[in-house]
């Protein structure tokens, strides 16, 4: 059985999605919980590798399991074994050919900028604080040039292991929502630290 999971998490306390030697990751937490429930080591395949501190509202992952499993009870069991900042929202049967990473049509990121003179203890984990006023109109005009297919090599971090730097930006927007500027970007994929 190929099982698809939809996951929500606060990434503040994690070194991103992918297992790595320098700290705890979302993949590691979930694989440990799956092993406790299923009794075998499971390798989760994530739709993307988020960076340290990145949060997710709907990260998709899948794994293959040869035994019987109650998909209605699986999220409850996993949520009982994971920290409260990692939640499985849904588990469902996927086609055998489904691969969370390769079958993802696009990825969407939202960045919130708290644009006020003073920081906020309530928004510090979920936004970037910039105290100087930002001018929305010129920023909106500038981001239009990012849409389409481009070579984003100059936007990638050192050590990025992508096979090529060409990415297609389907949509990106910047809007003011109360005291925030919210930047939303949708693309085929992103390079490491690209956005």
Calculate what percentage of the chain has a pLDDT beyond 70: 100
- In 3D space, the residue among 164, 154, 163 whose CA is nearest the CA of residue 193 turns out to be 154
DSSP 13-78: GSS-SS-BTTB--HHHHHHHHHHHHHSS----EES--PPTT--EEEEEEEEE--S---TTTHHHHH
> Which position has the token pair 């040039």?
145
Task: Give the pLDDT band of residue 130 (cuts 50, 70, 90).
Answer: very high
Torsion sign (Cα): 29, 106, 195, 131: negative
> What's the mean pLDDT when you consider all of the chain?
92
Alpha-carbon span 155 to 165, nearest angstrom: 9
Taking CA atoms, 113 is separated from 3, 29, 99, 129, 180, in Å, by 36, 29, 33, 6, 5
Per-residue pLDDT tens digits for 134-175? 999 999 999 999 999 999 989 888 877 778 889 999 999 999
Residues 172 and 140: their CA atoms lie apart, in Å, by 9
Question: 70: Cβ–Cβ under 8 A, 6 or more apart, which residues?
Answer: none
Classify residue 146 by its DSSP letter: G
Residues designated as active site? 51
Cβ 8 vs Cβ 57: under 8 Å? yes
51-63 confidence digits (pLDDT tens): 788 899 999 999 9
Confidence band, pLDDT 50/70/90 cuts, at residue 115: very high
In this prediction, residue 104 carries a pLDDT of: 84
Q: Give strand pairing partners of 59.
A: 7
Gap between the Cα atoms of 31 and 175, Å rounded: 37
pLDDT digits (tens, 9 = 90+) for 6-46: 999 999 999 988 988 889 999 999 999 999 999 999 999 99
What pLDDT, on the 0 to 100 scale, is given for residue 82? 97
């Amino acid at each position: 059985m190929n099982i698809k999971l939809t996951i929500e998490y606060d990434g503040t306390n994690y070194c991103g999605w992918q297992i790595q030697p320098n700290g705890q990751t979302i993949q590691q937490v979930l694989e440990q919980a799956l092993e406790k429930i299923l009794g075998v080591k499971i390798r989760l395949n994530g739709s993307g590798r988020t960076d340290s501190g990145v949060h997710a509202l709907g990260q998709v992952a899948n794994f293959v399991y040869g035994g019987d499993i109650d998909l209605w009870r699986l999220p409850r069991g996993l949520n009982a074994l994971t920290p409260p900042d990692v939640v499985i929202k849904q588990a469902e049967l996927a086609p055998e050919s489904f691969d969370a990473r390769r079958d993802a049509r696009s990825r969407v990121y939202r960045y919130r900028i708290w644009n006020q003179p003073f920081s906020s203890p309530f928004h510090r984990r979920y936004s970037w604080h910039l105290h100087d006023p930002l001018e929305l109109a010129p920023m909106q005009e500038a981001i239009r040039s990012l849409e389409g297919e481009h070579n984003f090599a100059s936007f990638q971090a050192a050590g990025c292991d992508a096979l090529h730097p060409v990415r297609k930006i389907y949509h990106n927007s910047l809007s003011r929502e109360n005291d925030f500027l919210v930047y939303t970007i949708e693309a085929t994929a992103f390079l490491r630290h690209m956005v």
